[in-house]
Structure 1
């Protein structure tokens, strides 16, 4: 008997039981990193699949391709933000949450910046869904004006833009943050302190309205 024949036959690798929800979660997490680092146009599905440790065909299978994966990712982001800005939630708490989330989840925050820095095709993907989300945020601010958190003479749309820009400072202006505050814009300490300062600013707006009345 030859040496080759004497060897035990190599067993075929056992296929791991597929867990669709776990696989989708891995792909979304990997996509967040890839899209956050490169933006939609430059991101590669092969890189996303490699980071997730799965076959790239599963991106098409579960999400219908790159665009579907991106839309699913941004939908989860919108869901989290909508939940944070319930109409009964004080505006100061929401501003604090947004400011701290920019440091807590940098990949998602960078994705948001990419969308705005590369405004237009092919990075204008998902605009319709975002329009609905942003309009919900405008209505939230209008509700907080009615509740007395904010002066009624401020336009809620402009106010939303102002505070979204402020919440993005750690990523958009890291050098300015370091030079002005002496703190690391990526640190939890900065996120805590900055979120608190923005919340106090909102409180002052409400206090100023009371004093005028």
Structure 2
């Protein structure tokens, strides 16, 4: 005797299964996941080859998407590269706010430099390809320079508040911090020779970040000038 109820994996006779269209929020979520996958792949390819030698086809293959999707979402290879920069700046604003102590900013910068989502080596490639002829009309260049000048002003305020020695040029301190903070990403071969371990080792990242922070912290504000005693 057979049951009169349809099997849960069979449709009743005369009824066809209809495929449900994804809801708008589901399509948006899928699109964001695809864009994130493309960005992650792009960081890997750009970090390995630099902007000029990187091929969109290689990025698409690594992301497992159709190459046309990159044009659809980002417009061009340059647009994709700019989006990587925007993603970094959004992360930096949240994870490395200007209100942190300078040494703590440096530590967090070290950790971010080896994070595969951001590509610390991209700074090195940008520097190698730089011709000294920045296009002042380029929005990306203007935004970067404006941010750097904000950081100079913020560091100068720290010096006025007595956090750091005001005999140091704040622009020089920032460049020193950026260079040293990205050392594990830019000089992995030297770091392996020095520390005897891979530069993505969490233990090495934390050790190096702590050491660099100690160096920065050893630059206290200069002692105020001594006021002669009236009896002298």
Q: What's the TM-score, normalizing by structure 1?
A: 0.80
1:23 aligns with 2:34: yes
Picking from 199, 205, 226, the partner of 1:185 is 199
- The worse-fitting range, judged by mean Cα deviation, of 83-92 and 160-169 is 83-92
1:1-213 matches, cutoff 5 A: 18=27, 19-105=30-116, 108-120=119-131, 126-206=140-220, 209-210=222-223
- The higher-RCO structure (CA 8 Å, 6+ apart) is 1
The answer to whether the Cα contact below 8 Å between 1:150 and 1:202 also exists between their aligned partners in 2 is no
Query: Mind listing any 5+ residue stretches in structure 2 that lack a counterpart?
Result: 1-18, 227-232
Answer yes or no: is the 8 Å Cα contact 2:60–2:66 preserved in 1.
yes
- Specify the structure having the higher radius of gyration (Cα): 2
Asked if 2 retains the 8 angstrom alpha-carbon contact of 1:99 and 1:191, the reply is yes
Separation in structure 2 between the aligned mates of residue 104 and residue 81 of structure 1, nearest angstrom: 12
Q: 1:123 to 1:106 in 2, by over 3 A?
A: farther
Aligned equivalents of 1:32, 1:102: Cα separation in 2:
12
What is the aligned residue count? Answer: 198
Q: Deviation of residue 90 (structure 1)? A: 0.7
**2:187, 2:40 → 1: CA distance?**
25
Check whether the contact 2:107–2:212 (CA below 8 A) recurs between aligned residues: yes
Range with greater deviation from structure 2 (157-166 or 186-195): 186-195
Q: Using the alignment, how far apart are the partners of 1:133 and 1:195 within structure 2? A: 23
Q: Secondary structure at the match of 2:120?
A: helix
8 Å contact kept, 2:155–2:170: yes
CA shift for structure 1 position 183:
4.2
- Label 1:183 to 1:147 Cα distance change in 2 as closer, same or farther (>3 A): farther
Q: Give, in angstroms, the shift of residue 210 of structure 1.
A: 4.9
Give 1:92 deviation, angstroms: 1.0
